[in-house]
């Protein structure tokens, strides 16, 4: 049940309707013919929450606009996000698995594809949104001669499912989950490639892998690489010249595309990139232009940095490319590299490579240790790389380094004309602060949750339960406590701690930091109970009998810290009683009452003083024992003599009287 209204039937999949993602039939309040479907997100590919919320009360023409979304348990017992949207009007315009289709006529392309898609994109653009999933197998229509409808675009990170063919080079080079929302011009580009596919009846460069596609686009330019020798109607060719422009600012807007005549008339003269007289080999790439040089350095930053330090690239820029101005700018960074570290400093090399790429190609994303991503793609990449059970440790280490050095701020400063450098600087500082927090509430895990508000808590303690909001955590832990296998562990772990801090529970940070370094088991139990009790009180959580029982079992060692035997016995008896009431605060007061603890300490101290007094008296007695024995012996001898004399005297008296 999604949003309390939509029932998803997991036994009724709808093949092909989700644009490459699983789709299922939906009933709306018992209506079996609701005309809706549910598209299920992959566990490591979160839906686009901002777009879903923005479109909740908006209808976009020619688009499968989402109407609701929610988290629930999907196939296999794993939690997943379901996005409810209308069923496609018909099959995809490009059947799954097809290599070719019947080419569309110019009139069909303009009337049934370009115009309705442009209207949809214009409405999205007005809402400051992008689609980022335009491709032939995600576009639908009822029948030939009908207008198209753009498919689902919200059940995965933006452009995550896009082939490199449909993405500009600066997006295609990125990690799939690191491409970011992009700009509406990126949708215009993807629409242009789709237009080309249907005009020719085939997908360009279908036999090449992603790296080869990107290399060809960078080398020849997108239009030449994609169109090649294809024969196109003049109108379509003119439109594609603009739609596939390298610079997004040179592409026509969706509003222009709605009127193909006006869009065709808009021509932006772009100077072709300067090409070198002789290529240079860097990694596995033959470099001919500044953009291909940037790409080569991004792919092989160690070799690129070494060639920069040796002056090889500077010489090539001057002699072969004939760009002394660019060479001078790169020399400045190379000199700074000498200040940043010695020749063995890998991190300094990475900083140099990232800066040089930003200068060589202002359209490029941030490159770091061979990974490329856009700033708003960081959250998606952290999910992809850092989920428990699917950890990519080298990628996490690279991301940690990138955040710690605030590289997005440095990158944005070098291309300030194409981004909001101030916002990037502020975001980079916040990300670094979150990551550097000590204890369980910091690190990349906390940043992962902070950047992904729709990310469920991945703690193994929750056993597949869907917990996205902090108000859902305690009931989920209470349910987990009902399973005996859960009670082998403590009810808090680093994942839950990171989740809580990211969900704006900063008051826990101090206790979480102490918990991470606690060596005394009793102190750790008290800290965990204090955190959970504070949550129950602040969130007004209901009775938590199972969780309280779980905590009571763990708290038994903490009872033994009481010095008073009477107090220990009372606490041991009262703890299960308070646990049965499900009130964690009452349990906490029983074992962590400062007043009673102080009284117990005073009593223990008084008892210790009394014991010391007794011990001192006994020690004194032991010290005086020899003299007391001698005295007793002397007194005994004298007494015996006196008694003997007395006896003799008595005997003599009796004899005299006799």
460-497 pLDDT per residue, tens: 888 778 899 999 999 999 999 888 888 888 888 888 98
CA distance 481 to 469: 19
- The secondary element (H helix, E strand) that includes residue 494 is helix 494-502
Alpha-carbon distance of 247 to 649, in angstroms, equals: 139
What span, in angstroms and rounded, lies between the C-alpha atoms of 226 and 209? 14
Which pLDDT band, with edges at 50, 70 and 90, does 603 fall under?
A: low
- CATH classification for the domain delimited by 106-265, as one of 3.30.70.1350, 1.10.510.10, 1.10.150.120, 3.40.50.720: 1.10.510.10
- The pLDDT assigned to 26 comes to 93
Residue whose structure tokens are 């996490």:
396
Specify the pLDDT at position 389: 72
Look up tokens 């300030």; give the residue: 416
Per DSSP, the three-state class of 373 is strand
Residue that wins the pLDDT comparison between 559 and 58: 58
For 147, counting Cβ atoms within 10 Å of its Cβ (0-12 exposed, 13-18 middle, 19+ buried), the class is: middle
Q: How far apart are CA 293 and CA 280, in angstroms?
A: 9
Give 28-83 pLDDT, tens digit per residue: 886 766 799 999 998 778 899 999 999 988 889 999 999 999 988 888 777 789 99
Say how many C-beta atoms besides its own lie within 10 A of residue 591's C-beta: 26
Which of the four pLDDT bands, split at 50, 70 and 90, describes residue 562?
Answer: low
C-alpha distance from residue 593 to each of 214, 552, 601 (Å)? 65, 16, 12
pLDDT-based confidence at residue 608 (cuts at 50, 70, 90): low
Does the pLDDT of residue 599 top 70, yes or no?
no
Q: Are 153 and 131 in contact (CB under 8 A)?
A: yes
- CA–CA separation, 173 and 170 (whole Å): 6
Per-residue pLDDT reduced to its tens digit, 504-551: 776 777 787 777 777 777 778 888 888 898 889 888 888 888 998 888
pLDDT of residue 366: 97
Instruction: Look at the domain 6-86 and name its fold.
Output: Phosphorylase Kinase; domain 1 (3.30.200)
* Mean predicted lDDT score pLDDT of the chain: 87
Q: 243-275, pLDDT tens digit by residue?
A: 999 999 999 999 999 888 777 766 666 677 889
Residue 134 CA to residue 216 CA, distance in Å, equals 21
Q: Parallel, antiparallel, or unpaired for β 6-13 and 23-28?
A: antiparallel
Q: Can you tell me the distance from the alpha carbon of 523 to that of 555, in angstroms, rounded to the nearest whole number?
A: 10
Map out the domains of the chain as residue ranges.
6-86, 106-265, 273-366, 374-436, 450-592, 610-658
Q: What is the pLDDT of residue 597?
A: 58
Mean pLDDT of 4-19: 91
């Amino acid at each position: 049940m999604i949003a309390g209204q939509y029932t998803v039937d997991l036994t009724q999949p709808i093949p092909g309707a989700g644009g490459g993602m699983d789709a299922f039939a939906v009933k709306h309040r018992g209506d079996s013919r609701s005309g809706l479907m549910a598209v299920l997100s992959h566990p490591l590919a979160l839906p686009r929450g901002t777009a879903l919320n923005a479109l909740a009360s908006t209808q976009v023409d020619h688009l499968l606009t989402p109407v609701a979304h929610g988290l629930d348990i999907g196939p296999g017992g794993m939690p997943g996000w379901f996005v409810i949207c209308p069923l496609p009007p018909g099959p995809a315009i490009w059947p799954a698995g097809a290599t070719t289709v019947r080419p569309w006529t110019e009139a069909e392309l303009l009337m049934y594809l370009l115009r309705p898609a442009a209207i949809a994109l214009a409405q999205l653009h007005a809402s400051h949104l992008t689609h980022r999933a335009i491709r032939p197998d995600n576009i639908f229509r009822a029948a030939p001669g009908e207008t198209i409808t753009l498919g689902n675009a919200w059940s995965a990170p933006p452009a995550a499912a896009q082939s490199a063919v449909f993405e500009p080079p600066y997006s295609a080079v990125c990690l799939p989950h690191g491409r970011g929302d992009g700009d509406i011009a990126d949708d215009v580009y993807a629409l242009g490639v789709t237009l080309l596919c249907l005009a020719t009846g085939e997908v360009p460069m279908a036999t090449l892998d992603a790296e080869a596609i990107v290399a060809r686009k960078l080398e020849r330019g997108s239009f030449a690489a994609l169109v090649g020798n294809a024969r196109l109607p003049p109108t379509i060719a003119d439109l594609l010249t603009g739609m596939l422009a390298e610079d997004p600012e040179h592409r026509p807007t969706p509003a222009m595309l709605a009127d193909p005549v006006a869009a065709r008339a808009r021509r932006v003269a772009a100077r072709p990139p300067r090409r070198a007289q002789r290529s240079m080999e860097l990694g596995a790439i033959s470099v001919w232009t500044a953009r291909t040089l940037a790409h080569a350095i991004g792919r092989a930053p160690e070799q690129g940095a070494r060639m920069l330090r040796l002056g090889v690239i500077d010489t090539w820029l001057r002699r072969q490319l004939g760009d002394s101005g660019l060479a001078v700018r790169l020399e400045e960074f190379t000199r700074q590299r000498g200040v940043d570290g010695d020749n063995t400093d890998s991190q300094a090399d990475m900083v140099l490579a990232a800066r040089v790429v930003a200068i060589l190609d202002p359209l490029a994303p941030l490159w770091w240790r061979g990974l490329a991503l856009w700033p708003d793609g960081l959250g998606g990449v952290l999910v992809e790389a850092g989920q428990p059970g699917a950890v990519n440790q080298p990628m996490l280490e690279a991301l940690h380094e990138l955040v710690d050095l605030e590289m997005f701020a440095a990158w944005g400063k070098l291309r300030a004309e194409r981004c909001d450098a101030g916002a990037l600087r502020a975001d980079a500082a916040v990300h670094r602060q979150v990551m550097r927090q000590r204890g369980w509430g910091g690190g990349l895990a906390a940043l992962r949750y902070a950047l992904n508000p729709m990310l469920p808590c991945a703690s193994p303690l929750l056993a597949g339960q869907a917990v996205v909001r902090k108000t859902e955590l305690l009931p989920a832990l209470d349910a987990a406590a009902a399973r005996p296998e859960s009670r082998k562990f403590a009810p808090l772990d680093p994942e839950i701690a990171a989740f809580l801090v990211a969900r704006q529970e900063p008051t826990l940070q101090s206790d979480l930091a102490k918990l991470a370094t606690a060596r005394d088991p009793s102190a750790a139990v008290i800290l965990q109970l204090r955190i959970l009790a504070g949550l129950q009180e602040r969130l007004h959580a209901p009775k938590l009998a199972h969780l309280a029982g779980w905590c009571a079992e763990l708290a038994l060692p903490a009872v033994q810290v009481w010095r008073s035997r009477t107090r220990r016995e009372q606490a041991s008896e009262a703890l299960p009683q308070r646990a049965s009431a499900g009130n964690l605060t009452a349990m906490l007061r029983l074992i962590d009452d400062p007043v009673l603890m102080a009284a117990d300490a005073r009593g223990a101290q008084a008892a210790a003083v009394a014991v010391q007094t007794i011990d001192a008296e006994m020690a004194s007695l032991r010290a005086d024992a020899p003299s007391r024995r001698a005295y007793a012996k002397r007194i005994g001898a004298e007494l015996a003599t006196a008694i003997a004399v007395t006896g003799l005297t008595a005997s003599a008296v009796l004899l005299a009287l006799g």
